[in-house]
Amino acid sequence: MTGYDIVQLTADDWQAYKAIRLEALRNAPQAFGSTYADNMKHPDSFWRGRLEEAAAGERSWLLFARHEDQLVGLIGAFNDDDPTAVQIISMYITPAFRGQGVASALMSAILNILQQQARFQVARLTVNAEQTAAVRLYERLGFEIEKTEWLPAGDSQFHDIHTMAKALR
C-alpha cells in the first residue's frame, strides 16, 4: 500500500477521527496516557469539539494521514500552561502503513505548523522507551531525551517514558 495525503479534518469528520483514535488506543495502549475504555465514554460532542479546536489552530492541532478514503495515521499538538512550549501527542500509524514514511511525514507537517507559531520556542513529546522505532524517528528529527520516568501508560503497566524536546527556533 502506498500513497497518502496529510490532511486536517472538519468537525463533520468526527466519526473517522474517533475510529482511528480508538484503534490507536486498542492496538497500542502502551503508547498512550489515556485508555480505550475511558475514550469510549466520550460523547459525540467531545470528538466534534476536538476537531473544531484543531481547526481554529490556536491552542491545539490535529493532522491525519489519509489513504484513499481511510485514515491511516494521526498526530496532535497542544499548548497548555507554558506559553513558549507545545506538546506533541497522539502519534499513531495503522500497522499496514508503518515503515512507509507516514510517521515522518506527519511529524514534519506538525512541526512546520508549530514553527510558524512565533510564540513557541520548544516542542516536547513523551514516548515509551520500548518503542525504539519511534524514539529513533524523533531523534532523526532533532528531538533529544530530556528525562526518563517510570510512569503508567494506557495498558495500566509502568514503563520507562522518555520526555523528548526539540528547539523550534
Would the pLDDT of 13 be above 80? yes
> Angle CA(167)–CA(25)–CA(84) in degrees, nearest 5?
20
> So what's the pLDDT on residue 2?
65
- For 22-48, b/e burial (b = at least 16 CB within 10 A) is ebbbeebbebbeebbeebeeeeeeebb
- pLDDT grade for 86, boundaries at 50, 70 and 90: very high
Q: What is the CATH number of the domain that holds 49?
A: 3.40.630.30
- pLDDT grade for 1, boundaries at 50, 70 and 90: low
Domain extent, residue 152, equals: 5-167
Least confident range from 51-55, 87-91, 151-155: namely: 151-155
Query: What mean pLDDT do residues 17-37 have?
Result: 96
> So what's the pLDDT on residue 21?
98
- pLDDT grade for 81, boundaries at 50, 70 and 90: confident
> So what's the pLDDT on residue 82?
92
Question: Are the C-beta atoms of 62 and 54 separated by less than 8 Å?
Answer: yes
Would the pLDDT of 57 be above 80? yes
The count of domains in the chain is: 1
